Structure 1
Amino acid sequence: MEKAFELAEVKDDKKVQYASYYLKDEGSYWRESSKALLEGKVITWEKFIEMFLEKYLPSYMQHRLEMRFLNLRQEDMTLAEYEVIFLELSRFAPEYVNTKAKKAKRFQEGLKTGIRSQVALLEIRNYVALVQKVMIIEGEKEVTKGEIEEKKRKFEESKSDQGSFKFRGKFGKNGGG
């Protein structure tokens, strides 16, 4: 919402009106009832956000989402899946990602062990640069895995071809002797 306000150059005293206009269904009913409770008092944008979060994202939920963020690990996720969840949950723990270095460090801590150890050597302190390097590493691992599987498949095929070869030498059925 803040980005939209910035783009539309909405002044602070109009933010509540704009945000209220876009509320739908239950959010609209909530806004109307909270307006009635405040009996005509002017609601600042900060107060509006506080009231909205209190209603739709209570502190216990914020804490749970913060803990989920702090415990987030890539595990079986692709890098893209991990990054999406990381960015989504990072909103609930802004103090851990409020600089490029902190964000990069936190992202790195949740990576798969093999990738994390490779990236740690690079000491990358910029989130975007870190994600790009990890993408390269993950891509190379996939290529390497594919090459290994291809070699393994060829080896298995050649092994099974050799097993079907029958010796027909001097003492075989068709051998002379």
Structure 2
Amino acid sequence: MGVPEEYWVDFVAFKFEGSTGTWWKRIRQMYDVENMAWEQFEELFNEQFFPQSYRGEKAMKFMGLQQGDMSVREYEAKFNELSRFAPFLIESEHIKCLKFERGLKSAIRRSLVALRLRVYSDLVVAAICVEHEHFAYLQSKEASGRTPKEITGKTYIRGKVVGEHPVVVVAIREMEKVDPTILSATIVGS
């Protein structure tokens, strides 16, 4: 929307109603809100509406977050929601990627680990692509009447084999749209 930072507090407070509006009236009586920095506003707001015990609970949930039965998109949404309560755990993009990657299902994580993606958005796109290919593979096996099984694959980066491991991905064509030099994955065996 492009609201200049010095107007953020006014912009947000304009929408307050009910108990939030009442709280804001009290804050305006106690503080110079005309010159209030966003950080101060955020701290006061969080203390009122997200007590430390609540934030601590959410931070603990983030620390133990695993994909489990969620889709990658659902896992990403939960990851982003809970990470707000533990920004100290993902201070850099690299650490954020490691945390996200370690929480993925092993079938997806194994296909991504050799890529060493350290841009969060690229990692999420790659994980979604791997998940889609995984489901397509399982559906094709089911449709052909064969029982799905793990197969041995090789992951190639820039034409070189960087690892052999069990994979369930036939190809990751969508990832090549992100950066065609990063990845070319194929299955060798069935």
Aligned residue among 115, 122, 129 for 1:122 = 115
Alignment of 1:23-102 (within 5 A): 23-36=16-29, 38=30, 41-43=31-33, 44-45=36-37, 46-102=39-95
Distance 1:141 1:104 in 2: 21
How far 1:15 sits from its partner (Å)?
4.1
Q: Which amino acid aligns with 1:31?
A: W
State which structure, 1 or 2, has the greater radius of gyration over its C-alpha atoms.
1
Q: Which has the higher contact order (CA 8 A, sep 6+)?
A: 2
Question: Partner residue of 2:164?
Answer: none
> Quick check: which one's helix share is greater?
1
When the two structures are superposed, what TM-score results if normalisation uses the length of structure 1?
Answer: 0.73
2:137 is the counterpart of 1:149: no
Mind listing any 5+ residue stretches in structure 1 that lack a counterpart? 154-177
Distance 1:47 1:147 in 2: 55
When the two structures are superposed, what TM-score results if normalisation uses the length of structure 2?
Answer: 0.68
Distance 1:103 1:130 in 2: 10
Q: Which amino acid aligns with 1:8?
A: V
> Quick check: which one's strand share is greater?
2
How many residues matched? 143
Question: Partner residue of 1:8?
Answer: 3
Q: Which amino acid aligns with 1:29?
A: T
- After superposition, the CA RMSD in angstroms is 1.8
How far 1:107 sits from its partner (Å)?
0.5
